[in-house]
Amino acid sequence: MPAGESMRKRTFMLVALSLILALALGSASLAASKVTITFWHAMGAQLGATLEGLVKDFNETHPDIVVKAEYQGNYGALQQKLTGALVAQKPPTVSQVYGNWAAEFITSNALVPIENFVNGPNGMSKLEVDDIYEGLRKASMINGKWYTMPFNKSVYVLVYNKTALDEVGITTPPATWQELLTAANKLTKRNDKGEFIRSGIGLRDNIDLFACFYFASGGEWLDKDGKLAIGGATGQKALQFMVDMLNKYKVAAYMSGYWDADFGAGKTAMYMTSSPGLSYTESAVAGKFEWGVAPLPASDLKYRATPVAGTDLAIYSKSTKAEQDAAWTFVKWMVEPTQTAKWAIGTSYIPVRKSALYLGIMKEYFAKNPKAEQSLKQLNYIKYDPNLAAWNGIRGDISTAVQKAFLAKATVAEALAEAVTVGNKKLGF
């Protein structure tokens, strides 16, 4: 190699190196003024796109904070990664959590209670706190402490085939059980063998559907001692009503999966689903008929209620004080009326703040999508599952009770009594 070329090469390398160094230093000094936090979530597809959009907005309006939103897969994957990361002492700064996960995470003080921030210097006023639906706030409490911020929450609604309802002369969707039964009866169509061409209502053989009836007849999962309360008159009445629709009046069908496809195919005239499920309904119906959404019918209007499901945002204590404060700024911003409204519009989840309903964008959205407004009518009547690790097993036991009653393997009272015995044992009684 000629000496000149070698020299030139060396000079070039030097220049390149110093450039790289300068760049590295520059970005380091730039990064020093910024706090970077990681946000683990389980929102895929459309939900994920809406979430990424909000995070982008946040990063643009908060130059001193960088939120890195990281999709972890479905809820199961998120739970596994969070647990693994906590054991390895490397949790994210913020993540979505279910209440029963949070109840376990706090056994190692992994979470900073959200109430510490709410009452802190950059906190929320009483007015702002009260603006978050009380039912959602209560569902985020563990042992009397407010640990997590309600985030993506959904409620159950009644979906009905409006075209079919019009045909049988029903103008308003059923609001009480009596009306539900009447409507289901009129809507049921059979072939000459007595098989359903269209069932009046589609049920599922699990705890979630039972909750839709049990809550809406005044029931609560636990009594004041923390024991299962489903075995009493209210629980029996709710389950008996479901069983009667199936086996006595024969106006209902059930499956263990989801009803949207069958509803779209006209095989059932009504069913109950959680609000984000409505996008599936939309694509299953695909304009074949008109459909609508109504609050869950109650045994009596004074018992109107709906189960609430979904996750909260949690802030992890492993992170530095600066990171936690940045995380709180992010969490607080995410549930501000404008953001929670945008979130609700993009995903069919419910806005967690009452005032979001009065925003222009929300009113515009309701005008275009009157269905969405129906789920929100119920937000003052939400009921929720207890944040107990044992609850998952009890869910299975209550589902079994529902199946036993549906299959007529036991009376309603026997099926529920068995679930209560097994469940209370899991609760430590």
CA distance 111 to 319: 10
Which one, 254 or 330, has the nearer CB to other proteins?
Answer: 254
Q: How far is the CB of 182 from other proteins (least distance, A)?
A: 24
Tokens of 254: 């059930």
- Quick check: 341 and 362 in contact, CB under 8 A? yes
Minimum Å gap between C-beta 116 and other proteins is 18
**Looking at beta carbons only, is 108 or 283 nearer to other proteins?**
108
| Beta carbon of residue 63, minimum distance to other proteins (angstroms, whole number) | 36
Taking the complex as a whole, the smallest distance from the CB of residue 188 to other proteins amounts, in Å, to 14
**Least distance from C-beta 207 to other proteins, angstroms?**
8
Minimum CB–partner distance for residue 75 and other proteins (Å): 10
Shortest CB 280 distance to other proteins, Å: 13
Shortest spacing between CB 72 and other proteins, in angstroms:
14
Max alpha carbon distance in the chain (Å)? 100
Residue 314 CB, nearest approach to other proteins (Å)? 13
Question: In the complex with other proteins, which residue's Cβ is closer, 81 or 371?
Answer: 81
How would you class 175 by CB atoms within 10 Å of its CB: exposed for 0-12, middle for 13-18, buried for 19 or more?
middle
Nearer residue to other proteins within complex by CB, 60 or 195: 195
Render the burial of 97-133: b for 16+ CB within 10 Å, e for the rest: bbbbbbbbbbeeebbbbbbbbbeeeeebeeebeebbb
The amino acid that residue 352 corresponds to is V
Helices 233-243 and 207-214 meet at what angle, rounded to 10? 120
Pick the closer one to other proteins by CB: 198 or 383.
198
Nearer residue to other proteins within complex by CB, 44 or 120 = 44
For residues 217 and 268, which CB has a smaller minimum distance to other proteins in the complex? 268
In the complex, least distance from residue 137 CB atom to other proteins, rounded to whole angstroms: 24
What residue ranges bind other proteins (CB under 8 A)?
A: 76, 79-80, 83, 86-87, 100-101, 104-110, 195-196, 204-206, 208, 253-258, 265, 267, 389-390, 392-393, 395-396, 399-400, 403-404, 407, 409, 422
Shortest Å, Cβ 104 to other proteins: 4
Which CB atom, from 131 or from 262, has the smaller least distance to other proteins?
Answer: 262
Q: Which long-range contacts (CB under 8 A, 24 or more apart) does 205-208 make?
A: 205/254, 205/255, 205/256, 205/399, 205/402, 205/403, 205/406, 206/256, 206/399, 206/402, 207/395, 207/398, 207/399, 207/402, 208/156, 208/274, 208/307, 208/309
Instruction: Return all residues near 294 (Cβ < 8 A) that are at least 6 apart.
Output: 157, 158, 160, 173, 174, 175, 374
193 CB contacts (<8 Å, ≥6 apart)? none
Q: Closer to other proteins at the Cβ: 21 or 408?
A: 408
For other proteins, the closer CB: 207 or 335:
207
Measured from the CB atom, the residue of 140 and 400 that comes closer to other proteins is: 400
| Length of the chain measured in residues | 429
Report the C-alpha gap between 185 and 162 in whole angstroms: 15
